[in-house]
Structure 1
Amino acid sequence: MPISTAKHSIATPATLSQRLMVAIGASVLGLSLVYFAGFSHIEAVHNAAHDTRHSAAFPCH
């Protein structure tokens, strides 16, 4: 008698409104992080963001 270890899962598709809410949430989170790092008065945070932009060859000034 063979033993089956296969597991079956059923994926339910996300609705358009669910995908839109996830995209908006991710965008708000990302923009908040960029704003915090770019305009932070904490020198270490600002310098880390600045160095990261330079290492990615992204012009920042």
Structure 2
Amino acid sequence: MSTLIKQQAYVATSSQRLVAVFAAASFGLALVFISGFASPEALHNAAHDWRHSHNFPCH
């Protein structure tokens, strides 16, 4: 017995790719810009809390 699965590939246009690249770059630059003004202690605490919330050992 066999099952036939039909899938249609999605192809993005160049303008859609450009929007995606611009959005990703903007988000990345915003993260770097925002974290650049945070104190090292605040960044450490945020990373520490993230590790705890994802069950990673840190001590």
Fold equivalence (TM over 0.5): yes
Match in the other structure for 1:32: 30
Superposition pairs of residues 9-20 of structure 1, within 5 angstroms: 9-20=7-18
Maintained 8 Å contact 1:37/1:45: yes
RMSD of Structure 2 on Structure 1 (CA)? 2.7
Gaps of 5+ in 2: 48-59
TM-score w.r.t. length of structure 2: 0.60
Report the CA distance between 1:48 and its aligned residue.
Answer: 7.1
TM-score w.r.t. length of structure 1: 0.59
Report the CA distance between 1:9 and its aligned residue.
Answer: 1.3
Gaps of 5+ in 1: 50-61
Distance in 1, Cα, partners of 2:44 & 2:36: 6
Runs of at least 4 residues of structure 1 off by over 6 A? 46-49
Distance in 2, Cα, partners of 1:33 & 1:12: 30
